[in-house]
Amino acid sequence: MPTNGKSIPEDRGSDLSKGVILALITALVSGISVFANDSALKLADATAYTLAKNLVAVLFLVVLACVFAFKEIKTIRSLSKKQLLYLVAIGIIGGGVPFAMFFWGLKLGGAAVSSFIYRSLFVFAGVFGYLVLAERPEPKDIIAGFIILAGNALLISGNLGFGLPQALVLGATMLWALEYTISRKAMTAVSIDPRIVMISRLLIGSSILIAFMAFAGDLGAIAQLAAEPSMLAWLFVTSSLLSVFVLAWYTTLRYLPVLKAASIFTIGGVVTALLELAFMGKGISLTAGLGLALILFGAVMATRISGILEALDHARTESRKLIFGVD
């Protein structure tokens, strides 16, 4: 697979193809998940709902690990102190603190600018990828980033003020971007299995959310969730989506540079908008439509059409091997 006139080793090309497919799957699942979560959050406390969803997702992942093998338990026992420190950092930086900051910020108001800040996560991911991992984006990736950022700007509507709510969301967004970078380093440089990373993130993050809710006196909101049959159904659906999301996303980070992965991930916003149009009748203005088109164009540009086709061809080949046992 050629890039900038130079051939890429076959294994590297295979990794890129896997990463692109996984990033596209992650974006699709994220778009569906945001749509489902928006509906569920109208019925529950945001922090309590997020905590419950994380805990159920952890249960799903642990059960999945037990079904396939007990390898994870042996792996956890054999982790070095350095690897454990990485996992603790990932859980704190990405799994607990930013969720508390994000939902606190949204509760205080100013959703218009806050939404733009969160959708710009890929920018911070690219900066941290450069600073922490020395990942140098290609010129086309930088151009794609500006196109996506312009598309996000066109989606802003309402109050454009910046205060404490937006500062909290900005802090949460930067922490998530940093955590993605640390997670990639943990999986590539320190050789931690993606499944261990995601389970640790959810477990440690959930512990922090429990402490946050206990401090705020909001633990009773969890009991209220359990008492609502409709919420239990929503929790099952959204926790299942979260499980698929973390499985796909953290494996994506193993194969793709952070900026490229995060840029493809922005397609999730387009998926959410289309679902809202199809199932809720939420219209898309001309300006918003142009913004969504720019986001989609930028994400595809970061991926490259040829990269998508090669990734799909790789997926077809691997599927044939899996199903029929032939090349």
Within a domain: 43: yes
Number of domains composing the chain: 1
Most confident listed range (61-65, 232-236, 264-268): 264-268
pTM for the whole thing?
A: 0.79
Q: Shortest CA distance to 64 belongs to which of 179, 195, 204? A: 195
Within a domain: 7: no
Q: Shortest CA distance to 102 belongs to which of 30, 34, 167? A: 167
Within a domain: 247: yes
Within a domain: 74: yes
Determine the pLDDT at residue 107.
72
Min mean pLDDT across 7-11, 94-98, 225-229, 235-239 is at: 7-11
Beta-carbon count within 10 A of 108 CB? 16
Range of the domain at 62: 20-324
Q: Tell whether the torsion through CA atoms of 60, 61, 63 and 64 is positive or negative.
A: positive
Which has more confidence, 55 or 176? 176
Determine the pLDDT at residue 125.
93
Within a domain: 8: no
C-alpha–C-alpha distance, residues 163 and 108, integer Å:
10
Within a domain: 12: no
Q: At what angle do helices 97-108 and 194-216 cross, to 10 degrees?
A: 50
Within a domain: 166: yes
Whether pLDDT at 53 is above 90: no
User: DSSP letter at 158?
Assistant: S
Within a domain: 73: yes
Min mean pLDDT across 80-89, 123-132, 206-215, 259-268 is at: 206-215
Whether pLDDT at 158 is above 80: no
As a whole-number percent, the residues of the chain with pLDDT over 70 amount to 69
Determine the pLDDT at residue 4.
43
Cβ 15 vs Cβ 298: under 8 Å: no
